[in-house]
Structure 1
Amino acid sequence: MTETDGELAARLATGTGRLLVRVRPGDGDRIAQEFLAAQLKEHRPHDAVLSEEAPDDRRRLTSERVWIIDPLDGSREYAEPGRTDWAVHVALWHAGRLVAAAVALPALARTFGTDQPVALPAPHARPRIAISRTRPPAFAQRVADAVHGVLVPMGSAGAKAMAVVRGEADAYLHAGGMYEWDSAAPVAVARAAGLHASRVDGRPLEYNQPDPWLPDLLICRPELAGVLR
């Protein structure tokens, strides 16, 4: 049976993660990029790729299928012994939308994908809001106070988004900028699990744009979307 795009995304994210665990603390970014690029060339040779670790191939702008990947999300955390908040992102954009994706948390030996979305755990009594441990939004505390919530600093974007999927947090709030590869796979996986994902002001997230920069991101339980925006 032919492997679906979702199955491929999960297999590649998991395989890249296992490789990163084996070579840690080596040159993870390069090793992961080489592995993912080779796998996509073998299994989806006609698709375009947008990666953090490779030059931007502008042919993607006229392609109907573009893999948006971050071979190692959270290089800083990966380099710190004992940290688990780093990830691997593999997402497929097709004709204007994200259609398949997976996020691996290799240090936890877990992969979350759009093919097999997880059921959301119960919310916390006081909403837990995941934020960057190095670049928290200036307004984060004000937002947390408005919902009587608690800020939870974490590492990579994928780890923060999957914290919401896993029920460790109820929302992930980011401002100050990121790139498409930072959020594409986490957003697709979060949406498959029933979570809300948008710009902080509620505007839609758009991918495979000429400039892959995204100013901000909100991923949260649907009941919090109107309150946090």
Structure 2
Amino acid sequence: MPANDLALLIDAARQAGEIARSFVGGPLEVQFKAADDSPVTKADLAVNRHLSQVLRDARPHYAWFSEETPDDTARLAAKRVFIIDPIDGTRSFIEGEKTWAHALAVVENGRTTAAVIYLPMLDKLYSARLSGGAFLNERRIATGKVKTPEAAQVLATRASLKPEWWPGGAPVLRRSYRPSLAYRQSLVAEGRYDAMFTFRPTWEWDIAAGALILSEAGAKITDRHGAPLRFNAPAPQADGLVAANPRLHAALLDRLP
């Protein structure tokens, strides 16, 4: 990985934040995607255009995979690829909330090597590079040390606690929620929450940045079966996600089918 990939992502994320904030309070021209009825605004598209230009101009030999760009399978032959969610938490953005994020990652041979998750309305910038630690606004962060689900504060949807996911019964835990999946991962990396999980198919652009930030903060992150995550896949979705410190991660997996 080029040593300055992380610096490039940090600068690009801050520029994205300026662009997105310029749309706050104005008309957003919300549309809904035919594939899944998820919303997209002119802010999502403007951020995507800017990131595409800035990042691809800086690294023309890197491939590109973004939520707001039609997939080009030429990325599969590339050694390195940008994996981008221009605005993660678009519904929150539309509703005027503050917990939406830009998620930017560089992936090399299936592994994230540089990552940034930036929440411009909160001025929280999470960053990591492979083997370089994880940081929040330049302060090193680490996951918590809770060992059992019953003692854990967890970020998850209510649907993730339905009985079909927990053959022996769902653990009794303290559950919270944030709409942005990238932010949920970051909060676990920061140690403010002990674990996060989702059991739905999960797009790579939602998790590629957070996966590195989590692992560099000391967490274990896998799909819902415990398999390691690999990115830039032909079918670019993980089969759910479980992230926590290694002891708590193992305890959660033991209860899943």
Fold shared by both chains (TM-score > 0.5) = yes
TM-score by length of 2: 0.80
Q: Provide structure 2 residue ranges, at least 5 long, that are not aligned to the other structure.
A: 29-41, 135-139
Distance change in 2, residues 1:7/1:176 (3 Å)? same
Q: Output aligned runs, 1:1-229, within 5 Å.
A: 4-25=4-25, 26=28, 27-81=42-96, 83-115=97-129, 117=134, 118-120=140-142, 122-123=144-145, 126-132=151-157, 136=160, 138-139=162-163, 148-229=172-253
Count of aligned pairs between the two proteins: 225
Partner Cα separation in structure 1 for residue 103 and residue 165 of structure 2: 28
Partner Cα separation in structure 1 for residue 235 and residue 119 of structure 2: 27
Q: Provide structure 1 residue ranges, at least 5 long, that are not aligned to the other structure.
A: none
What's the offset of the Cα at 1:122?
Answer: 4.6
Distance change in 2, residues 1:20/1:140 (3 Å)? farther
Distance change in 2, residues 1:140/1:100 (3 Å)? farther
RMSD of the TM alignment (CA)? Answer: 2.3
What's the offset of the Cα at 1:70?
Answer: 0.5
Distance change in 2, residues 1:74/1:60 (3 Å)? same
Offset from partner CA, 1:121-161 (integer Å, 9 cap, x none): 6556931110137x545359959x76542111221101111
Distance change in 2, residues 1:123/1:78 (3 Å)? farther
Partner Cα separation in structure 1 for residue 109 and residue 223 of structure 2: 20
Which amino acid is the alignment partner of residue 180 of structure 1?
A: E
Indicate the structure (1 or 2) with the bigger Cα radius of gyration: 2
212-221 or 20-29: bigger deviation: 20-29
What's the offset of the Cα at 1:162?
Answer: 1.1
Partner Cα separation in structure 2 for residue 164 and residue 85 of structure 1: 15
Offset from partner CA, 1:151-209 (integer Å, 9 cap, x none): 11221101111111222211110012121101101111111111111012211112111
7-16 or 200-209: bigger deviation: 7-16
Partner Cα separation in structure 1 for residue 188 and residue 144 of structure 2: 11
Distance change in 2, residues 1:139/1:64 (3 Å)? farther
SS in 2 for 1:159: helix
